[in-house]
Amino acid sequence: MPKKIKLVPLTQLESGETGIVKEIHGGQGVTKRLNALGIFPGIKITKLSSMILHGPVVIRLKNTELALGFGMANKILVQKDGYCEN
């Protein structure tokens, strides 16, 4: 029986942690916007920093740094590096 993959919102990663995007919880608008920014399931992202009290979340994907609003970042579910899928 395969183990259940532990997914966490991007906002719950610590600064410097890396994960693989597995799901985006949001409507078509949110999904299209994130896809246009290069964020889609399967992409590896690193959380660089975030502000306290629901401020923007800064991430790196490939060679690009992006700032996302807390609400949008919270809709991105990632699998932390180090957690296997089996």
* CATH number of this structure's domain 12-80: 2.30.30.90
Which of 14, 24, 6, 37 minimizes the C-alpha distance to 74? 24
**For 50-85, what is each residue's pLDDT tens digit?**
777 788 999 999 999 999 999 999 999 999 976 555
**Domain coordinates in residue numbering, the chain:** 12-80
- Write phi, then psi, for 10 (nearest 5 degrees): -50, -35
**For 14-43, what is each residue's pLDDT tens digit?**
999 999 999 999 999 999 999 999 999 999
Tell me the whole-structure pTM to 2 decimals: 0.86
- Cβ atoms of residues 56 and 62 within 8 Å: no
